[in-house]
Amino acid sequence: MSEQFLFADEPELETTVSNGTWKVLIVDDESEVHVVTRLALSDFSFQQKKLLFISAYSGAEAQQIMSEQQDIAIVLLDVVMETDDAGLQVARYIREQLNNQFVRIILRTGQPGQAPERQVIVDYDINDYKSKTELTAQKLFTVMMSSLRSYRDIISIEQSRQGLEKIMDASVDLFSAHSMEQFIDGVLQQLTSVLGCDQDALLVSSSLVAGNVQASDPHELVVFAGQGEFEQKEGQPIQEVLDKPLLDAFEQALNSKAIVYRDNYLVAYCSSKFTHGSLLYVSGLPGPMSESQQKLVQLFAQNVQIAYENVQLQHEVEDTQREIVYRLSEAVEQRSVETGNHVRRIAFICYELAIAYGLAKEDAELLMYAAPLHDVGKAGIPDEILNKPDKLTPEQWSVMKQHTNIGFNILKDSKRSIIQAGAIIAREHHERWDGSGYPDGKKAEEIHVFARIAALADVYDALRHRRCYKDAWNLQQVIAEINAQANRQFEPKMVAAFNQIVTKLEAVLQKYPDSGNVAPL
């Protein structure tokens, strides 16, 4: 080789226990440089991590490796290889095309005049510039140590930024299940960054929900959120995710309700008022935990479960509200013979129609929860009219039509979005697209879209099932009738949506049948 490394005698460094590795890419067209570099740094360790060397012998090869491996910490980069500026082009490729601002680039050259130091550092975002002849083993050790410290701090800042971004995004709608998972994931990322750990971390919890304390075994734990090797493991039992030593540590933390430290990881019990609690696992601890770090873990363990259970309680309230809607609607329907699962079918038929029509998923879900209230006003209609098998007299029909206003008046004063939507549907679901409906003779888009959807869903389900006043129609008869009512009873666009998804709607009928009441296809 044309240039020689000069190494002073160095005392041997104390061997440390390896806990992962730092990736170092050596880029040089002379194989001797690779050999000597590996030899000089063979016993190097930083934060109990050894170096993992990767070799590239040209600028093109280095670019390929950098594009494939995003976690390289340091690049020891020669300038002159296949071309006089091959190394500089690698540096530019890393910073500008890969947009990798994290890796530390140390330029090593045997021809300093070929690439002036001041110009190179300014123009190419180089972190250090060394002549090969000045790099003793001690100086190489020093530059590696300072570069790894910089890399560690930059990655820590980036992880904290990403974690904070997840927390802020999730905080906009913290009470949705997806946002809660994102929130916990962001907090985990912040915690591992502050502790200086690897990104392998997870939070596990029992499948228990608030208000169901007796229904779950505290040892039946599932992954709620995970990072690193536990990413994409959400919902899996820990017996399928963790090995035996880790399971033992989890069991110890659960039984002791404390933080268990083992080797280079910890398992912390997260206390709970309503459930059996959760467990936090963090691996890759860089060394003994300081008092401030232990307090940080305790703070996380105390508060993350509170946030989780507040969301669980919110879901419990929402689920209770929906169940009350179903039970109230079914109680009203029980007064009408042979209606069975009508209200449940209406809910899911409305949802499918709303999605096919083009409503947002949030609106479709609101409609699904509110639609069962469409006939709640029948509670005020006498049985002899409600269940009369013959045609109603004009006087009886006038009474029957009042169920729309009765239902509206029952529901109108609620401040809950589901009940408010139910009030609109109850009042308007007998309005017709051409204006010939009741109670107000509204037409076209004067009728709320929820009521337009519920109207078609109600007619479809009623025609497909037997009632006290009619036999069930087959599917072809129902399709023909609904299409005949386009631009009369129903909005044409709604009928088109119905035609597109009729197979899905039939599946709803099969899932929630009335015994023997649905006609064959």
- The one-letter code for the residue type at 381 is I
Domain segments of the chain as ranges: 21-154, 173-302, 334-511
Q: What is the pLDDT of residue 251?
A: 86
Dihedral over Cα of 289, 294, 296, 298: its sign: positive
211 DSSP β-pair partners: none
Alpha carbons 293 and 192: distance in angstroms, whole number: 11
Q: Quickly name the fold that domain 21-154 has.
A: Rossmann fold (3.40.50)
Buried b (16+ CB within 10 A) or exposed e, 303-338: ebbeebbebbeebbeeeeebeebeebbbebbeebee
Q: What is the pLDDT of residue 357?
A: 97
Total-model pTM = 0.50
- The one-letter code for the residue type at 439 is P
Alpha carbons 262 and 245: distance in angstroms, whole number: 10
Torsion of CA 509, 511, 512, 515, to 10 degrees: 80
| Active-site position among 50, 132, 233, 378 | 378
DSSP annotation of 382 reads -
Q: What is the pLDDT of residue 167?
A: 56
The answer to whether 378 is a known catalytic residue is: yes
Which residues are within 8 A (CB) of 93 and not within 5 positions of it... i.e. 6 or more apart? Answer: 63, 66
**Rounded mean pLDDT for each run of 10 residues along the chain, 521 residues in total:** 39 42 94 92 89 95 94 92 90 91 88 63 79 81 92 81 60 51 68 70 60 48 80 83 86 85 82 67 76 77 70 68 69 58 89 96 92 86 83 90 91 88 94 95 96 95 81 93 96 97 94 66 56
Alpha carbons 350 and 421: distance in angstroms, whole number: 13
Sheet containing strand 21-27, strands side by side: 45-46, 49-56, 21-27, 72-78, 104-109, 128-131
Q: What is the pLDDT of residue 455?
A: 95
Alpha carbons 267 and 252: distance in angstroms, whole number: 9
Q: 334-511 sits in which CATH class? A: mainly alpha
Sheet containing strand 265-270, strands side by side: 221-227, 201-206, 278-283, 265-270, 259-262
Q: Quickly name the fold that domain 173-302 has.
A: Beta-Lactamase (3.30.450)
